[in-house]
Amino acid sequence: MTGGCLCGQVRYEARGTPLNVRACHCTLCQRSTSAPFFARAMFAADDVSWSGETLDYPTSERVMRRSCVRCGTLVFAQPKDAPARIAVSLPTLDDPDALAPDMHIFTSTKRVWLVLDDGLPQYLERPPA
C-alpha cells in the first residue's frame, strides 16, 4: 500500500498485512489529528518505508508522531515500546478505503456528540490482549 501527505513531499509504502487497524479516540490522538479520532493501520516497522522530511514530535512518553515538515499532515505514529511498529494514517493512503478499522479504542474519551453505531467492538481503553 502506498500513501503520502497532502502536499506530496512525504511518500510511503507499507508492505504486508497490518498488525491491526483501529480507530483511536484517546485525547492525544484527537489533538494530534485535529479530528475526533485517529483511524490508523499498524504495521511492523520493517514493513514501512518512506521518503521526504518529517517532523517528529513525542505526544507522550510512549508515542512519537511524524508529520510532513511542509504541509503538516500527520502521516505516522510510532509507539516507542517493543516490538517495533509504525501506524499509518488511513486517510493518507492513496486508496483511503483500502483498509477499515475493526474496532474503536479509548472510547472513554470519545467526543460525546460522536455516535458510534457501525457495529464494531468498542473498548473504553486498550483492547484485551
Buried b (16+ CB within 10 A) or exposed e, 91-107: bbbeeeeebebeebbbb
* Domains observed in the chain: 2-109 (2.170.150.70)
**pLDDT tens, residue order, the chain (129 aa):** 999 999 999 999 999 999 999 999 999 999 999 999 999 999 999 999 999 999 999 999 999 999 999 999 999 999 999 899 999 999 999 999 999 999 999 999 999 999 999 999 999 999 987
Q: How far apart are CA 59 and CA 19, in angstroms?
A: 22
Tell me the sheet residues that pair with 39: 23
